[in-house]
Amino acid sequence: MALQRLMSFFILYSILGYIPSLGVILRTTDKTVWANEFEPIELTCLIESISTNNPRIEWKKIQNGVPSYVYFQNQISGDLEHRAQLIQPANLLILNTSRADTAEYRCEVAAIDDHKHFDEILISLAVRVKPVVPRCSVPVAVTVGTSSELRCLENEGFPASQYHWFRNNEELPQDPKSSPKFINSTYSINADTGGLKFRRMRKEDAGEYYCQAKNVAGHAQCPTQLMDVYDVDIVGIFLKVLAALAGFIVVMVGVCHAHKHRCFSSSKDLTGTNYKLPAQDDGVDYAEADEGHFRHKSSFII
């Protein structure tokens, strides 16, 4: 049987001058494609072998395992409508990529006149997104010898951003021990999270700082922020404590003086000559109580 088929091919070759295709065969130049957001990208679906004159060509987008049509019945559909076109014979050109285009794309070609009448190829597209301006946090002033942390973060870039810190427009090396200029510094940089930590601040660490978020699509940086590093002012602290203590003593003396004045005023009211017994209005004369009887100041009727 196989020999008969092979003989048939040779007979057709002798008559037509070529060997007919065994079926439709596809290939692509790259099964994993990267594109920058807002830039064009072409997904290649090359037909290496086919006999059918008008094969059926379809493109599907697959996200989270769910396929949807991109090119169907000779027209672009779905979220790529007005943003893509088919480049003959079967390449898909996306004119203005967006981050939502990150997905797998499947090119399908059906050729009914071919012995192998169907083939497909899968292409993975990842759209790179440039970082946005990161949010930076830099302390205004710190004390020599204390620890401190500077922070930097942005959430838009894809792939995830790597972070770089600059002081006075000079990039800080990831490892301070690798540079003679920074060998005495105690900082560490986490390039994945954007943290810049100082175990022990020095006067030399003062300056203007900014952070840069960077990936393969581009970079962005936050505005420069000034950080001051100052010595501990022992004399100043002592004078402030002394002033606070003096103020406390003055307040306490004032309070005690006020309480003492009020006590003196109360004693005078109790023992002074101006003190009067309350008036007796019950009609009984108590002045001659030692006589063993009492008398009425006025008559009354029983």
H-only helix segments in the chain: 2-16, 234-271
Question: CA-CA distance, 51 to 156, in Å (whole number)?
Answer: 47
Residue type present at position 50: I
DSSP conformation class of 5: H
What is the per-residue pLDDT for 290?
Answer: 43
pLDDT at 248: 78
Quote the tokens at residue 80.
Answer: 């790529």
Q: Mean pLDDT for each 10-residue chunk of the chain (302 residues)?
A: 43 48 84 95 91 88 94 92 92 95 95 84 96 97 95 96 97 93 94 96 96 96 96 64 78 76 51 48 45 42 36
* Predicted confidence (pLDDT) per residue in 240-290, tens digit: 777 788 777 888 877 777 776 654 454 445 444 444 544 445 444 444 444
282 vs 164: CA distance, rounded Å: 97
**Total residue length of the chain:** 302
CA distance 230 to 141: 7
Q: Where are the domains of the chain?
A: 20-128, 135-230
What is the value of pTM for the model shown? 0.63
Helix (H, G, I), strand (E, B) or coil at 276: coil
pLDDT of residue 5: 42
E-strand spans in 91-155? 91-94, 103-110, 118-128, 135-137, 141-143, 148-153
pLDDT at 71: 95
Q: Does 135-230 match 20-128 at the fold level?
A: yes
- The predicted structure's pLDDT at residue 208: 97
Q: What is the pLDDT of residue 14?
A: 47
In CATH terms, the fold of domain 20-128 is Immunoglobulin-like (2.60.40)
Q: Identify the pLDDT of residue 220.
A: 97
pLDDT at 133: 97
CATH number of 135-230: 2.60.40.10
CA pair distance 43, 31, nearest whole angstrom? 9
pLDDT for residue 20:
53
How far apart (Å, rounded) are the C-alpha atoms in residues 72 and 82?
Answer: 14
